[in-house]
Structure 1
């Protein structure tokens, strides 16, 4: 019998992304009888439990994790700050908690609820199913000192520097049970940092295989180049293109068979774009003010 696999759809509001999650669920289950689907959420004021959700007559498990579940991880640094927050850099703990709650799977796929695919998701999932790699994700790049969250990096000996590390984007990925167990072990040993910096770094340090499944980056295999998403090569992990963080969209783009992120509902789109404009304006005003002070002095 083929090993069991599960797709975890990460969301705090299943109803508002119902159409998208049902679409990915249907596509994943088409891969075969050993493929399962569930929702996963971090809800800080809820009780850790497995709920049963009904969406348009489709019933599915919903793994809800709270502060009490995070406490059970007992990592000395990673996620240890209280109050615990997923952002920045702790969203990976949801997959690690799911691994402990449902240890029967050989592969864990995870997709965030603001990821969209401009094609039949079955084609995307089928093309990645059975592929080599302990971790399949996007935007694999080398770490560097000026990366936004490089200062979060910690290692037991303190001798691992940002330039020795790797970066990878974790909004849609597939990871093996063995890889999750390895990351868990490293976190228990005192490794810590932003998830986008930790996962590829730990797995490569442990001799495991990390695969960038598409795009046009430096570490994409010829067979995957310009597939599944598009971006600018060697952009310093800015993740420009269809599948990144900076370009907030209401809808997926016109290019077919491409991953898009983030796709937000109208209210969230307005709020996040407003926050981004304000942030950019403050940055420019700060530079202007600094320049004015220099001129006056």
Structure 2
């Protein structure tokens, strides 16, 4: 594990931001930090980056207790933009690279690499305030990864991006993992979680309520239901099989049918085939978004 969070708690006056939170981030993985607004995600990130101190608990980085020397191995892209608006892009990237310990020659080499890779040519002499939100986000992303950190923390990294540039950054995140980096990734965009994250942790009301591999969690929340698209009418189903959702589309019908745990999809097909012409049949596996809504809703009451 590159990062271990143990029994982390943090309180601001009367508000408990984190309450005994523990989880592990595997090395060279993309790890999703999820939760609704106010859940404690930003506080957690700020303790990892040592912007704020802990009240209790412990954070270890590569087996060592987290300390100021580890900041050189961490890259952080905050949700709030942290760029100097009146400063030129090239000067800003050089300044931030030098802060992270790169000499000017190596910094120039890496800046040139990323500028070409992300199609940022011609931006060097522009002030940050002249750029669109998406362009500013590209600059901040480059500043986050220039020093090739082992742990990259991305807080809402796709804010301001159109779909094309969002996909470019997703590809770069996957490439960074391939090259050995670990990415701690906080977002409200659940489709990005599905696409990118190997593992997730879900925090709500300052407590951890879910943790595990993304694929395992989706399997855990299966409810033995199947999506069927067909022509014809389903006249009857045996005991234990129920239509829980139905939708009519032009000359087709769509159904979600739930069966008992001891029944198999083949059992369902045996009843359907004599009655309808099946065009599509698949298991109805819940999305991370479905699970998020279910668990956060349950914990809000």
TM-score normalized with structure 2 length: 0.24
Say which structure is richer in strand: 2
TM-score normalized with structure 1 length: 0.24
Q: Which has the larger radius of gyration?
A: 2
- Kindly indicate whether structure 1 or structure 2 has the higher relative contact order, using CA contacts under 8 Å at least 6 residues apart: 2
